[in-house]
Amino acid sequence: MKKALAGVLVAAAFAGLWAGGAMAQAVPYIHVYFDDGSNGSYGETQAECGQPGSLVSLYVVAQNFNSWMTAVEYKVSFPDGIMFIGDAYPTVPGITLNYGNSRDGNVVSWQIRRDGWAPLLISTIAGLWTSDCDCQYGPYPVVVGAYPYPVDPPSGPTGLTWPDERRVSAVGMTSLVCPGPVPTQESTWGGIKALYR
């Protein structure tokens, strides 16, 4: 009897872990990176100003869609310190179609579905550092937002899945030019608690 009860408890524990893992799905997002992922992953979301007139490459990457992808829609808002030049799209099997550009709003679709379980490079943006980029005036955001539909726009970037052609909402992430230091103040635990009395 005890063995049967122990077996039921172990099975229930595994079922709870499995269900908890299924509930903790990652949120899809689109982010702009300052590195090309050549080290195996994209990761640099902050950069200092470059020399005015020098080129900068930015990489628009979709992550955590956990499905086959046939299209994405997004827009990138640039700070004054980066002048948008244009988009380049990775060479993939089949045809890549785009409507628009990253600055004004872009829809990118693929004839052959793309893997949305791994980081998915959507576009490489060519930009130019301008003299308006000055790190002494604080951080400048590079923000991924929704494609600017004239009527009923979505709240953020979206992706289209395959085979069900379902529109998936994503979070548009923010990268920073000139992130700067985070101000801190030395204190004791008692001093911190005193702030909330």
Q: Chain-centre distance of CA 141, in angstroms?
A: 13
Question: What pLDDT does 24 receive?
Answer: 53
Q: Which pair of tokens denotes residue 81?
A: 């310190």
Question: What pLDDT does 15 receive?
Answer: 43
Question: What pLDDT does 53 receive?
Answer: 93
pLDDT of the chain, 197 residues: tens digit per residue: 445 444 444 444 444 444 444 445 689 999 999 988 776 678 889 999 999 999 999 999 999 999 999 999 999 999 999 999 999 999 888 889 999 999 999 999 999 999 999 999 999 999 999 988 888 887 999 999 999 987 777 889 999 999 998 999 999 999 999 887 766 777 788 877 887 87
Rounded Cα gap, residues 164 and 97, in angstroms: 20
Phi, psi angles (nearest 5°) of residue 59: -120, 120
Q: Which domains are assigned to the chain?
A: 25-37+45-179 (2.60.40.680)
Q: Decide: 183 and 139 in contact? Cβ < 8 Å.
A: no
Rounded Cα gap, residues 101 and 29, in angstroms: 19
Question: What pLDDT does 182 receive?
Answer: 62
Q: Which pair of tokens denotes residue 178?
A: 């000139």
| Tokens 């300052």, located at residue | 34
Residue 22 exposure: Cα atoms within 13 Å on the Cβ side: 6
Question: What pLDDT does 39 receive?
Answer: 67
